[in-house]
Amino acid sequence: MDRMYLRRARNLVMSVMCMASAVVVIIPLVMILFYVAADGLRAINWGFFTNLPKPVGETGGGMANAIAGTFTMVTLATGLSLPVGLMAGIYLSEFGRGRLREAVRFLTDVLNGVPSIITGIFVYVLVVVAMGRYSALAGSVALGIIMIPIITRSTEEMLRMVPKSLREASLALGATEQQTVVKIVLRSASGGIVTGVMLAVARAAGETAPVLFTALNNRYWNQGLDQPIASLAVFIYTYGISPFEDWHSQAWGAALVLVVMVLFLNITARLVVRARQGR
Amino acid sequence: MLHGMKVRDLNAWYNDNHVLKNINLHLMGGKITALIGPSGCGKSTFIRCLNRMHEVIRGGRVRGEVWLEGENIYGRRVDAVMIRRRIGMVFQKPNPFPTMSILENAVSGVCLHESLNTNGLAERAEEALRQAALWEEVKYRLDDPAVSLSGGQQQRLCIARALAVKPEVLLMDEPCSALDPASTLRIEELMAELKKTYTVIIVTHNMQQAARVADHTAFVYQGEVVEDGPTSEIFTAPKDPRTEGYITGRFG
């Protein structure tokens, strides 16, 4: 009898600990959202989305250029990294063999682990120095390099989760390997792949250090992809470390906009995937 | 007259494991041939060699000849993809494409090879679903996801999917082992119907099933065909003691 009680007690303790840990996992997110919303909402008004930043000393002003800048760079970075990441993921999961595949997989993980500031310095040397100026393009390249390994590995994982039986079904119908990959495997994994891409987009939208080194910042509208461009992340950074009270408040506002943008992207992606699968 | 298949000196390997040894067998056209044998005897590998699906597995290797209507499917200039169009296959576990509707599944193979318009596809789907005895159950829900069907219905959908390509031979690898008795019965009835139009080859570990449906039976044991012949002879008067031992339940 004693042993039974002991076992039950142990079971209870472990269950409670696991549940408590699960709660601890979500506490930071909830608190971040709460703080950002509480402080950010005060700074946000219509002008915040439509105006350019005001010069030091003047109150008001907005960050329309930073929102547009983040959109521009993330879109461009996605355009650069999505084809590469997707196809590399397909290679790793479907066609890769032997040492080359192991090498690519390992190096992808290493690239994923490279601190983003290093990526920033690398692109600074490669693009900024070569072009002779900071530019939106350089920022996009840096963000794209950060996105590639995330897209590659998540695509690979999702493709590998597609059961072998589906590939065999397709091949047995007389499909070629390419048809099997495109029409069956990719289609079955599309939900997971989209989620992976969204994670990469969210990560890129929030990166600060590499953008600081490559796109710099801009207090006005961007004058072309070969010119410096503002972004929300750098906006938050520069306003956050400034000595001005109203700039702090605007940094909170920018943080809120960034968080909401990322959440919105994630939720939209999930809804799109669910709508496509739940036919 | 439907085409049969002739297997000559067929050997197959998984890496270094020699799983099929010098198989010679005549699979008769327009008949049902059952391959029986204990687990791991190589009967699934054998049926996969008949439409070049064995080589799809990493480490899978084949040597030998398999003839379909005067053509060796392992011939040097033969494209495995074209062979699989002519020799359809149904697997052990129902494997409809989960992202596709019932209709899309039924014509998924057709779409790979032929460019038909919507009407042509719908006709082909109906024809195949009727042949697979599934039409009456799904005709009002063709746009539902295939995974909403029961296991037995999914397996008949997989049969329809294979038939829609209009193959000459239909291979079935333990098509009923994941199904309940009622669904099994339906598929067995279906097979009797199918042999009028197709050469059917079925792998089964269920001897009663072989006895019920097959015209011919081959007993596979440790990678070899021990004995083959008309089903009634194999079950009533086996010549080889190993066959007798297996069908009387002494092993396997």
Distance CA B28, CA B4 (A): 5
- Asked whether residue A36 is domain-assigned, the answer is no
- Asked whether residue B68 is domain-assigned, the answer is yes
Domain region containing A158 = 64-277
As separate numbers, helices (DSSP H) first and strands (DSSP E) second, chain A gives: 13, 0
- pLDDT at residue A279, rounded to an integer: 42
Residue to test with chain B: of A173, A185, A273, A276, most B Cβ within 10 A: A173
Taking phi over 0 as left and psi of -120 to 50 as alpha, with beta for the rest, A174 belongs to: left
Query: How many pairs of residues across A and B have Cβ atoms under 8 Å apart?
Result: 64
Distance CA B209, CA B190 (A): 13
CATH number at residue B209: 3.40.50.300
Distance CA B232, CA B235 (A): 5
Helix (H) or strand (E) holding B88: strand B87-90
Helix, strand, coil share (%) of chain A residues, nearest 5: 80, 0, 20
- Cβ separation B81–A184 shorter than 8 A: no
Helix (H) or strand (E) holding A178: helix A177-179
Q: What is Dmax (Cα atoms) for chain A?
A: 80
- Cβ separation A175–B81 shorter than 8 A: yes
- Cβ separation A168–B158 shorter than 8 A: no
Residue reference for tokens 């040097």: B76
| Number of domains composing chain B | 1
DSSP bridge partners of B216: B33, B230
Q: What is the least distance, in Å, from the CA of B128 to any CA of chain A?
A: 14
Tokens, residue B144: 């539902």
Concatenating the DSSP letter of every residue in B33-47 gives: EEEE--TTSSHHHHH
Compute how many other C-beta atoms are within 10 angstroms of the C-beta atom of residue B102.
26
Helix (H) or strand (E) holding B226: strand B224-230
Distances in whole angstroms, Cα of residue A116 to Cα of each of A67, A119, A123, A239, B248: 21, 5, 11, 21, 70
Domain region containing B214 = 5-99+167-247
Q: CA nearest A186 in B: which residue?
A: B99
For the segment A238-269, what is each residue's pLDDT rounded down to a tens digit? 999 999 888 999 999 999 999 999 888 888 88
Distances in whole angstroms, Cα of residue B81 to Cα of each of A46, A93, A155: 61, 21, 27
Between A173, A188, A190, which is nearest B109 by CB? A173
Residue reference for tokens 């079925």: B202
- Among B202, B113, B198, B112, which Cα is nearest to B155's? B202
- Asked whether residue B38 is domain-assigned, the answer is yes
- Cβ separation B81–A169 shorter than 8 A: no
pLDDT per position in chain B (252 positions), as tens?
Answer: 688 899 999 999 999 999 999 999 999 999 999 999 998 899 999 999 999 999 998 899 999 999 998 899 999 999 999 999 999 999 999 999 998 999 999 999 999 888 888 999 999 999 999 999 999 999 999 999 999 999 999 999 999 999 999 999 999 999 998 888 988 998 999 999 899 999 999 999 888 999 999 999 999 999 999 999 999 999 999 999 999 999 888 776
Cα separation of the two ends of chain A:
54
- Asked whether residue A89 is domain-assigned, the answer is yes
CATH number at residue A203: 1.10.3720.10
Tokens, residue A171: 């091949």
Tokens, residue A239: 């306003």
By residue count, chain A amounts to 279
Distance CA A140, CA A127 (A): 11
- Which parts of chain A register pLDDT below 70? 1, 276-279
Torsion, CA A151, CA A156, CA A157, CA A158, rounded to 10: 80
Query: What residues have CB less than 8 Å from B185, skipping those under 6 apart?
Result: none
Q: CA nearest B98 in A: which residue?
A: A188
- Asked whether residue A175 is domain-assigned, the answer is yes
Distance CA A95, CA A91 (A): 5
Tokens, residue A157: 């994982």
Q: What is Dmax (Cα atoms) for chain B?
A: 57
Query: What residues have CB less than 8 Å from B101, skipping those under 6 apart?
Result: A279, B142, B143, B144, B145, B146
What residues of A are in contact with residue B84 (Cβ under 8 Å)?
Answer: 171-174
- Asked whether residue B52 is domain-assigned, the answer is yes
Q: What is the least distance, in Å, from the CA of B84 to any CA of chain A?
A: 5
Query: What residues have CB less than 8 Å from B55, skipping those under 6 apart?
Result: B61, B62, B80
Between B53, B98, B108, which is nearest A168 by CB? B53
Residue to test with chain A: of B95, B161, B172, most A Cβ within 10 A: B95
By residue count, chain B amounts to 252
Identity of residue A208 = T
Is A171 at the interface with chain B, CB within 8 A?
A: yes
- Asked whether residue A20 is domain-assigned, the answer is no
B143 touches A153 (CB < 8 A) = no
- Asked whether residue B135 is domain-assigned, the answer is no
- pLDDT at residue A195, rounded to an integer: 87
Distances in whole angstroms, Cα of residue A178 to Cα of each of A171, A175, A184, B156, B158: 10, 8, 10, 27, 21
DSSP bridge partners of A42: none
B96 touches B157 (CB < 8 A) = yes
- Asked whether residue B136 is domain-assigned, the answer is no
- Among A164, A193, A199, which Cα is nearest to A94's? A164
Distances in whole angstroms, Cα of residue A152 to Cα of each of A23, A116, A155, A196: 31, 17, 5, 9
What residues of A are in contact with residue B89 (Cβ under 8 Å)?
Answer: 172
- Asked whether residue B240 is domain-assigned, the answer is yes
Q: CA nearest B80 in A: which residue?
A: A174
DSSP A159: H
| Number of domains composing chain A | 1
